Amino acid sequence: MRHARRRVVRRVTRLAAVGGLLLGGAMVAQAAMASETPPASARTLGSTGSAGSAGDPGAALVARLGAARTAGSWIGADGRPVVAVTDPTAAAEVQRAGAVAKVVDHSMNELKSATATLRSAPRVAGTAWSVDYRTNRVVVLADRTVSADDWSRMTRVAAGIGGFVHMERTQGTFTTRLNGAQPILSTGGRCSAGFNVTDGQRDFILTAGHCGPSGSIWFADNQGNQQLGRTVNSAFPGNDFSLVQYASGKAGEGADVVAIGGGKGVLITGLADPAVGQRVFRSGSTSGLHDGQVTALNATVNYPEGTVTGLIQTDVCAEPGDSGGPLFSEGVALGVTSGGNGDCTTGGTTFFQPVTKALSALNVRLLVAARSAGGAQGASPAPSAPATQGAGASNAVSPGSAAPVTGTTQGQTLLARLTDTRNVGPGLLVVAGSLIALVATRYIRAEQDRRAYQRYYSTTWG
């Protein structure tokens, strides 16, 4: 009976070892094929492929009715698009389209004329202005560095334009937020990697223009041992964007992910222009992940270094060290951090360079995650999410699909590499274990046979 049990155990062990050999061989083959064929996890997306006004009913209505009959659009508290109009006929058209109409006194043409007058006045560092669609007025902000004389002079300019220009003092100072989601460092300071982009042949980091001029060398560590690349195109002031070309030419694995802290990331699946009232998220290496709302578009900021126009204005906080960091919502890229005032303890105002404008000017395309039907890798990607997706109920809006942050494997241990399912290591470990099991069972059987032989002949020869 004992010998029968031993035979069963040996047979089961041999079968398990043979199964392990087959499984390990399949794992090695799969890992080898994966290393030869890059995964179809990312694709490129240009600014023309964004979900701009096509996915925003309010912006589409504004474009159709024109700047003389409308004064912007935003997302209402209930998530419905609201369009500011100047006459009852336009209001009726908006309502027939399923949006909410709000009749206002001043058209977009008037509001833009007001901002043009402000721009033509002598420049005052520490000021900013934008069009507040919801209140139908132009809001001029001045930080604590603006003197009483400059404030009085700007107030007189505003009074000459009309009562719809609102003057407001604000705390802190408007500064560029030098230093982000994944930190990049140079001799000039620290900034943030925003989004990965490509021209079809080479990959780049899109970040803020004030981070450094063309020729700046960037590293991934404080010691200057891991060179990331060099700034090859920079625009600041006027705009605030730049391109850092990767030293290797390629962004590598995880190019479609932005870091949000704690080793976690968000998959970027498209790009768009945001809507006023939309809930958005910003990530930075100094202050981490924070959220808020878009409060205005086409904002102008007079930084000490110069004036930047066409910015996205938000109430998301940011701090020095967050420059260039990504602004996004539901996995859709919206902007890169430019500057602002305040901090993440007391709050503040932060401005962002729109991604669509930067990509168009730089003639590059965004690297985004390919979203395929049924999860089939390599299938045709779905269109980008609209800019207003989930902008209603704040609880329903998320940064986007979760993804692990990946990067270089220089810091991995040998064990971590061997057990990484993306490598051939796990398959080789299974094969080795199975071979050891087979050899062990053969040895044990041979040893048992030898001992049985000895016992038999010892009794025979007595």
The set of catalytic residues is 210, 240, 323
Residue 394 φ then ψ, to 5°: -65, -30
- Would you say 208 and 176 are in contact if contact means Cβ atoms under 8 Å apart? yes
What proportions of the chain, in percent to the nearest 5, are helix, strand and coil?
30, 30, 35
Query: Do 216 and 206 contact (CB within 8 A), yes or no?
Result: no
The arrangement of strands across the sheet holding 195-198 comes to 42-45, 365-369, 195-198, 203-207, 241-246, 227-235, 217-219, 182-186, 189-193
Stated as kind and residue range, the H or E segment containing 30 is helix 2-36
Q: Burial letters for 288-304: b for 16+ Cβ neighbours within 10 Å, e otherwise?
A: bbbbbbbbbbbbbbbbe
Beta bridge partners of 234: 242
Residues 315 and 388: their CA atoms lie apart, in Å, by 17
- Determine the Cα–Cα distance for residues 199 and 366; give it in Å rounded to an integer: 9
Euclidean distance between CA atoms 322 and 67, whole angstroms: 35
Q: 82 phi and psi, to 5 degrees?
A: -115, 135
H helices of 255-354, in order, are none
Cross-strand pairs, 313: 296, 351
Choose among 398, 289, 400: nearest CA to 337: 289
Rounded CA gap, 189 and 167, in Å? Answer: 34
Task: Count the Cβ atoms, other than its own, within 10 Å of residue 191.
Answer: 34
